[in-house]
């Protein structure tokens, strides 16, 4: 991997909930807003496409492999990288691949062929074994050091599939530039982090509600580093709120927003609420919501109510958020 990488947000913003329990004990967490770098290694290799070898048809394509499949092992040996795949098929007349597709696993025999351009045995398949990007820390539990971030899954940029994370690390990151959002074109926070720096946490789960794991230490301090209670979904209401996020000055700031719609959800689901950015400074800098702001926490009446997930393509001053309670439940599981 590059020693210094500059990456876009992890598909933040996809382009376009249990009801309150009377007498329930309040849950306290520390709200985030800090920029984070996420680097993950997937389980197996993700197929992103097939390719003929000169005039020789792709063995992978002839065998029915397609984008989104995951190659887990060759002849029983787990795959760790694209280079490892080449090593395991080198000189073999045929190999048995263990493949996962749509949650189901199956085996398939494939015959590698010698690429006439360099003589190396190949399957004629393009694969990816890792991903990296920028997002926002949503909140963490100061007692367990478990954290929640992003508010949506890391997905493969080519296939759109949720990446199955085998190993991953969290890093401090910095926003170095901003491409403003415009109607019909979501912008992005351009960030950087170094894989040579000490990681600040591990990643254990990547699902529809975000990225979750454990922090090694508390993230850098902000003006909002104290604990706040998590609101029960039924208590969230339309009206004024604040959003915490980090831009190019490296500090977590509070920006005004408005909750315009609350969906009453009695079980975990996405798109819990709609929000509108009303802060003139945030609109000036980002156009509203930009890629890289996913995971930004939303507070109302001193409670953590939600986390930014998506932007409206036609109006980047508006977007979706998920109830923080749903993310906390995933984090604590």
Catalytic residue among 130, 181, 272, 294: 294
Listed in sequence order, the DSSP H helices in the chain are 59-62, 82-89, 280-286, 324-332
Cβ neighbours of 170 (radius 10 Å): 26
Task: Specify whether the CB–CB gap between 173 and 7 falls below 8 A.
Answer: no
Q: Tell which residue, 93, 40, 102, has the closest CA to residue 70.
A: 102
CA distances from 105 to 72, 97, 100, 125 (A): 9, 10, 4, 19
Instruction: Kindly state the tokens that stand for 157.
Output: 């940029």
Catalytic residue among 152, 181, 222, 272: 152
The 174-179 sheet, strands edge to edge: 4-7, 188-194, 174-179
Report how far residue 149's alpha carbon sits from residue 100's, in angstroms, rounded to the nearest whole number.
27
Active-site residue, 129 included? no
The values of phi and psi at residue 60, to 5°, are -65, -45
Task: Specify whether the CB–CB gap between 126 and 51 falls below 8 A.
Answer: yes
CA 13-32-206 angle, 5° bins: 50
Active-site residue, 279 included? yes
The values of phi and psi at residue 176, to 5°, are -105, -15
Catalytic residue among 141, 156, 172, 279: 279
- Catalogue the active-site residues: 152, 279, 294
């Amino acid at each position: 991997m590059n020693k210094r990488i500059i990456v876009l947000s992890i598909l933040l913003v996809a382009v376009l909930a249990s009801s309150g329990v009377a007498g329930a004990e309040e849950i306290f967490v520390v709200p985030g807003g800090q920029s984070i770098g996420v680097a993950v290694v997937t389980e197996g290799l993700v197929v992103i496409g097939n390719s003929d070898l000169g005039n020789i048809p792709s063995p992978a394509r002839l065998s029915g492999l397609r984008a989104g499949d995951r190659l887990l092992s060759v002849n029983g040996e787990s795959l760790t990288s694209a280079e490892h795949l080449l090593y395991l098929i080198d000189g073999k007349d045929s190999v048995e691949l263990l493949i996962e597709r749509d949650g189901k696993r199956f085996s398939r025999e494939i015959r590698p062929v010698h690429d006439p351009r360099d003589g190396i045995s190949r399957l004629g398949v393009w694969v990816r074994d890792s991903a990296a990007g920028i997002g926002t820390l949503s909140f963490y539990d100061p007692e367990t050091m478990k954290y929640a971030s992003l508010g949506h899954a890391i997905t493969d940029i080519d296939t759109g599939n949720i990446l199955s994370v085998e190993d991953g690390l969290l890093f401090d990151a910095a926003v170095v530039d901003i491409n403003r959002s415009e109607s019909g074109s979501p912008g992005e926070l351009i960030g950087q982090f170094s894989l040579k720096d000490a990681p600040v946490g591990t990643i254990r789960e990547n699902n529809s509600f975000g990225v979750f794991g454990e922090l090694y230490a508390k993230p850098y301090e902000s003006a909002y580093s104290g604990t706040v209670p998590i609101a029960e979904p039924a208590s969230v209401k339309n009206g004024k709120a604040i959003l915490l996020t980090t831009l190019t000055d490296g500090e977590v700031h509070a920006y005004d927003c408005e909750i315009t719609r609350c969906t009453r959800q009695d079980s975990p689901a996405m798109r819990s609420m709609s929000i509108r950015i009303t802060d003139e400074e945030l609109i000036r800098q980002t156009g509203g919501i930009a890629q890289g702001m996913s995971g930004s926490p939303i507070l109302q009446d001193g409670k953590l109510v939600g986390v930014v997930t998506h932007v409206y393509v036609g109006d980047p001053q508006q977007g979706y958020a998920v109830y923080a309670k749903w993310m906390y439940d995933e984090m604590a599981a």
